[in-house]
Amino acid sequence: MNAVLMRCVAVLAAMLLQASAWAAEPLPSWQDGPSRKAIIAFVESTTRAGSADFVPEPQRIATFDNDGTLWAEQPVYFQMFFLMDRVRATAAQRPQLKDTDPTRSIMAGDIQGALASGEKGLLELMAATHSGMSVDEFHAQVLEWSEHARHPGTQRRFTDMTYQPMRELLDYLRAHGYTTYIVSGGGQEFMRPWAAQTYGIPPQQVIGSYGELAYRLRDGIPTLIKLAEVGLVDDHAGKPVAIQRFIGRRPVFAFGNSDGDLEMLQWTAAGPGPRFVGLVHHTDGKREWAYDRASKIGTLDKALAAAAAGNWVVVDMKSEWKQVYPDR
């Protein structure tokens, strides 16, 4: 082999080694800033045998809010768009629904008018459109909607508006023996059908607000039916309650983005040993939305103050994420 060829082979080998190193680099969509460094340092210290901060694998519990933390949440929580589509479909068979708010506003495409009916009006709508069917029927509706529905602003599928950096974080944690959970105010049965494909989180690790279920025999077939009664609202103080009820361990790693996550983050931070608590701060009005204290959706006020007091990690989306959404 002549000298020129040998030099070319050496250069190519070096390039391949560098490419392999780049491919193995964790969190590639994150800038090499303070949040990425804090995450990597925490994960390495809690998973390295012999480390003073070592956490046994069964205790490596990581919980994540969904709306505004793993996917976008503006101009309203995405489940609201699903609810609106279900109301339109249901009203076609039940015309009496069209005569009262918030259905009247939904039929007119007036999101703010629909929200003005408050929690009571929206819960009544959810009871009218989500209950009385089997869990399997509801899951099929959600999957069909998630495949075809589009965000009115971005024209992306809603499941294409997940955050690429956070998906990488989920993968990174799992690669180091962490079990990842969703703990969200969104509907549990709304998230479970698509969470595994989208986030790699199986249904049994998705915890959300839920309505009661009833066991019935339909044509001799055992069936679970969705009821109108609310079982748990998994928001604010409901989150640590749900974590204890469904997981049975306090997380050592938790991420949120709003005051609705504050109690989950406080609960995580208050435990013994090493703890990681993070907030996604929506600062990027160009690639996404910029909002915090003044926003009615995803209000970040008390939790931001708690982060400063507790030295939590606050991710500045604009400066710390190279990319927001996945490439299609």
Please report the domains of the chain, with CATH numbers, ordered by start residue. 33-75+159-320 (3.40.50.1000)
Work out the burial of residue 275: count CB atoms within 10 Å of its CB; fewer than 13 is exposed, 13-18 middle, 19 or more buried.
buried
Q: Kindly report the backbone phi and psi dihedral angles of residue 315, in degrees, each rounded to the nearest multiple of 5, phi listed first.
A: -85, 115
Across the chain, mean pLDDT equals 91
Q: CA 38, 270, 181, 317 torsion: positive or negative?
A: negative
Q: Looking at per-residue confidence, does 140 or 131 come out higher? A: 140
> Average pLDDT for residues 11-31, to the nearest whole number?
61
pLDDT digits 0-9 by tens, 62-101: 999 999 999 999 999 999 999 999 988 887 777 766 677 7
Contact 315, 281 (CB under 8 A): yes
Q: What is the pLDDT of residues 188-232, one digit of tens each?
A: 999 999 999 999 999 999 999 999 999 999 999 999 999 999 999
Kindly write down the DSSP assignment for every residue of 186-238, as one continuous string. EEHHHHHHHHHHHHS--GGGEEEEEEEEEEEEETTEEEEEEEEEEEE--STTH
Q: What are phi and psi of 222, to 5 degrees?
A: -60, 130
* pLDDT tens profile 241-266: 999 999 999 999 999 999 999 999 99
Rg (CA), the chain: 22
Structure pTM? Answer: 0.90
Q: Which of the residue ranges 107-111, 158-162, 266-270 would you say has the lowest mean pLDDT?
A: 107-111
Least confident of 43-52, 108-117, 218-227: 108-117
* Model confidence pLDDT, tens digit, residues 281-295: 999 999 999 999 999
